[in-house]
């Protein structure tokens, strides 16, 4: 197992105690479209990539799914999205030897594409495709893409179309349009995608997966169109348990020949349990950066504190994202909440009444709390009357330094 921080992991780098997530995802995709819900850095893309790897590792005749994976974070317009989806569908039809179907489905457009299809994997193909489709409006894209998707029912296996970083793409739309134009564009766009799911009949052979590091439900709720995704089945990625945390630390220590005192391992496990595997990865990374091989518990603690004090690069995005995605008022509200939680779990209403009443509207406070939960900062503890707390001790300890909280033992 390699220590890969900040990127999806698969195969030997995918923790075996978490493989049940891939099995569960497959089970859901046999019957419905899915929205993957989990905080940032909880491994949403890793689950998808491992699912894809497992399918590709099978012999052709044993494969259950065709999988199209669309990374959308960099797409800035509906046309960009449609072009990428169109290209992936063209390639799938080519690989599945459905060229005759393409000629019927695309009509005159096929004449312009046919001679170029053999170059689909070359860099110049997308440029040529963009020249052909450059002035397409959404209705024109729908006219081309909708029959290509519904015709997937004729394929010999189910097709899964994955939209990774889908809500991030919607935020890109927002940056380039007025508020009204953004709402209208997003409404018509997501209505079309919903219609593709609604026309599925029994025995349908295509499903969709939506995921991203921004909360899709909240993104659509903000502009009043959350109904566009209420048909999607939620797939929740849970936080790691102590046994997951221990296995991760022990596997990575073995890989890099690190001798960590048992009390040191226990300290690391305690700091990341109920969080994500990402936290364990950055702890091991901090140990390796010392170039040492033997670690007592005191040395582990010293490295841990030094990592937090210097503003660890792998954690800094938890600060920068607040600046990027929250308004000034929301950002200030979030800082009050997080600073208060550095002292321990607290009741949501009591935080508001004690610290924010008269300073922030309660609706804004609730919105910020929900955003902090989805972004992976805090959670509602079902074992503690729903009190708010940091998702894992490591994040609480890091925020103490950011907020200037003192006299709290790490």
Over residues 253-270, the pLDDT tens digits come to 999 999 999 999 999 999
Over residues 172-205, the pLDDT tens digits come to 999 888 989 999 999 999 999 999 998 766 668 9
Four-way CATH pick for 11-236: 2.40.40.20, 3.40.50.300, 3.30.1280.10, 2.60.40.10: 3.40.50.300
Write out the H or E segment, with its range, that includes residue 380. strand 378-381
> What SS3 state is found at 405?
coil
Q: At what angle do helices 317-325 and 393-403 cross, to 10 degrees?
A: 70
Beta bridge partners of 280: none
Q: Which fold has domain 317-403?
A: Arc Repressor Mutant, subunit A (1.10.10)
Give the chain's mean pLDDT.
90
Q: Give this prediction's pTM.
A: 0.88
Over residues 133-160, the pLDDT tens digits come to 878 999 999 999 999 999 999 999 999 9
Measured distance CA(371)–CA(193) in Å, rounded: 25
pLDDT band at 408 (very low <50, low <70, confident <90, very high): very low
Q: What is the mean pLDDT of residues 357-372?
A: 92
Q: Is the pLDDT of residue 409 over 60?
A: no
- Extents of the domains making up the chain: 11-236, 242-309, 317-403
CA 187 to chain centre: 22
Q: How many Cβ atoms sit within 10 Å of the Cβ of residue 190?
A: 20
Q: What's the half-sphere exposure (Cβ side, CA atoms, 13 Å) at 36?
A: 29
Four-way CATH pick for 242-309: 3.90.660, 3.30.1360, 3.30.70, 1.10.8: 1.10.8
Instruction: Tell me which of 292-301, 310-319, 364-373 is least confident.
Output: 310-319
User: Nearest to residue 186, comparing CAs of 234, 232, 226, 147?
Assistant: 226
Measured distance CA(64)–CA(158) in Å, rounded: 7
For residue 12, give Cα distances in angstroms to 3, 67, 145, 257. 11, 21, 37, 17
Q: How many Cβ atoms sit within 10 Å of the Cβ of residue 289?
A: 10
Measured distance CA(229)–CA(212) in Å, rounded: 14
């Amino acid at each position: 197992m390699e220590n890969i921080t900040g990127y999806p992991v698969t195969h030997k780098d995918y923790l075996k105690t978490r493989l049940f997530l891939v099995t569960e995802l497959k089970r859901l995709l046999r019957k419905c479209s899915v929205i993957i819900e989990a905080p940032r850095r909880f491994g949403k893309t890793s689950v998808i990539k491992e699912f894809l790897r497992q399918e590709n590792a099978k012999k052709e005749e044993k494969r259950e799914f065709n999988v199209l994976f669309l990374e959308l974070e960099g797409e800035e317009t509906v046309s960009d999205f449609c072009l990428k989806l169109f290209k992936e569908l063209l390639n799938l039809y080519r690989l599945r030897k459905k060229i005759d179907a393409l000629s019927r489905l695309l009509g005159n457009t096929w004449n312009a594409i046919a001679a170029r299809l053999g170059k689909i994997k070359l860099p110049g193909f997308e440029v040529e495709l963009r020249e052909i489709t450059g002035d397409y409006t959404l209705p024109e894209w729908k006219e081309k893409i909708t029959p290509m998707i519904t015709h997937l029912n004729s394929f010999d296996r189910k097709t899964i179309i994955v939209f990774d970083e889908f809500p991030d793409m919607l935020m890109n739309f927002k940056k380039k349009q007025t508020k009204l134009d953004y709402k209208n564009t997003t409404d018509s766009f997501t209505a079309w995608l919903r219609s593709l799911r609604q026309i599925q009949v029994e025995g349908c052979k295509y499903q969709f997966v939506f995921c991203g590091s921004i909360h899709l439900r909240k993104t659509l709720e903000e502009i009043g169109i959350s109904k566009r995704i209420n048909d999607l089945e939620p797939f929740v990625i849970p936080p790691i348990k102590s046994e997951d945390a221990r296995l991760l630390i022990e596997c990575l220590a073995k890989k890099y020949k690190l001798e960590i005192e048992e009390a040191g391992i226990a300290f690391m496990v305690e700091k990341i349990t109920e969080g994500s595997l990402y936290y364990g990865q950055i702890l091991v990374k901090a140990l390796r950066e010392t170039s040492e091989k033997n670690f007592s518990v005191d040395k582990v603690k010293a490295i841990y504190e030094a990592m937090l004090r210097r503003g660890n690069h792998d954690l800094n995005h938890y600060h920068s994202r607040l600046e990027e995605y929250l308004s000034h008022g929301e950002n200030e509200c979030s800082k009050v909440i997080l600073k208060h939680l550095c002292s321990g779990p607290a009741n949501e209403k009591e935080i508001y009444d004690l610290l924010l009443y008269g300073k922030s509207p309660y609706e804004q406070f609730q919105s910020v709390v929900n955003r902090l939960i989805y972004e992976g900062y805090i959670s509602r503890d079902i074992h503690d009357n729903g009190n708010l707390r940091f998702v894992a001790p490591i994040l609480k300890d890091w925020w103490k330094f950011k907020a200037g909280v003192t006299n709290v033992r790490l």
